[in-house]
């Protein structure tokens, strides 16, 4: 059974920088991480952000092209392919990827705007009706989270 963690961000907060923080923490804990996005454009944006999101640290990552580089602990992708050796997926898409249950841990980040909340509620109901262990984490301030 996969564990699903919903991180509920404060009003007006964006999801991408928080995703970088979660990716860094998961990688630092020894996990391989896959960031799933809605589109190639968003994947490229996350790639750029991971290069610059912290000026004093670096998260080794690459865009996933269907083949896994064993030396790269964080991948970013979209569509239906994913690196099978990853343990954690950070889902930045509107829907649950069909391969989500292949991961030990699924991270869902709920941004502060109503559209994000609407999509997150739908995903939450789907996870609850499936074979997933769900947890909610309300984030009051992003100051400590990146």
13-23 pLDDT, tens digit each: 889 999 999 99
Decide: 54 and 146 in contact? Cβ < 8 Å: yes
Least Cα distance to 53 among 90, 18, 12, 13 occurs for: 18
Least Cα distance to 91 among 111, 73, 65, 113 occurs for: 111
45-101 pLDDT, tens digit each: 999 999 988 777 788 999 998 877 788 999 999 999 999 999 999 999 999 999 999
99-123 pLDDT, tens digit each: 999 999 999 999 878 888 899 999 9
Decide: 109 and 89 in contact? Cβ < 8 Å: no
123-137 pLDDT, tens digit each: 999 999 998 999 999
Given this structure, which CATH class describes domain 2-141? alpha beta
């Amino acid at each position: 059974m996969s564990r699903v963690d919903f991180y509920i961000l404060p009003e007006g907060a964006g999801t991408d920088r928080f995703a970088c923080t979660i990716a860094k923490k998961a990688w630092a804990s020894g996990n391989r991480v896959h960031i799933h996005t809605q589109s190639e454009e968003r994947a490229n944006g996350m790639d750029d952000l991971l290069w610059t999101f912290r000026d004093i640290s670096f998260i080794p990552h690459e865009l996933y092209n269907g083949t896994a580089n064993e030396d790269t602990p964080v991948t970013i992708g979209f569509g239906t392919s994913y690196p099978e050796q990853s343990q954690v997926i950070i889902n930045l898409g509107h829907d649950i990827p069909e391969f989500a249950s292949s991961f030990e841990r699924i991270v869902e980040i709920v941004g502060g705007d109503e559209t994000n909340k609407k999509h997150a509620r739908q995903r939450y109901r789907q996870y609850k009706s499936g074979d997933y262990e769900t947890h909610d984490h309300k984030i009051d301030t992003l100051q400590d989270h990146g």
